[in-house]
Amino acid sequence: MPLLHFRLSDTQKKKKNKKQSDSTPSNAMGLQEEFQEHSEKAKTLPENTTNENKLILYGLYKQATVGPVNTSRPGIFNMRDRAKWDAWKAVEGNSKEEAMSDYITKVKQLLEEAAASA
């Protein structure tokens, strides 16, 4: 399975950069709270959410909560765990804060897409 790479669109980058430029050091706790809120919202995503999107969310969540990959890659016969590990490894260069922000953005995007198709 190829490595998954999550990239923000130009519009999402502009929104993210604007939000970051408006933030103050005291907003670090706000990011954590918003991340927790969107972690709960992610549980309400429709069942037809693609595995690719689920893996992106998984990788970002692990990077935000644990940090860089700290386990060895699962064997080839454990395809599910291997795909999850690969998704986490794909975002390894992000800081925890970047991963939280990207996770929030992705959950919002998926919820908007689900609402539009409903």
**What CATH number is associated with residue 109?**
1.20.80.10
**CA gap 87, 73 in Å, rounded:** 11
79 backbone dihedrals φ, ψ, rounded to 5°: -65, -35
pTM of the model: 0.77
The 3-state DSSP class for residue 20 equals helix
b/e per residue 104-117 (b: at least 16 CB within 10 A): bbbbeebbeeeeee
From first to last of its 118 residues, what are the pLDDT tens digits of the chain? 444 555 555 555 555 555 454 443 346 669 999 999 999 999 999 999 999 999 999 999 999 999 999 999 999 999 999 999 999 999 999 999 999 999 999 999 999 999 999 7
In-domain check, residue 75: yes
Q: How many domains does the chain have?
A: 1
Q: Which domain holds residue 103?
A: 54-118
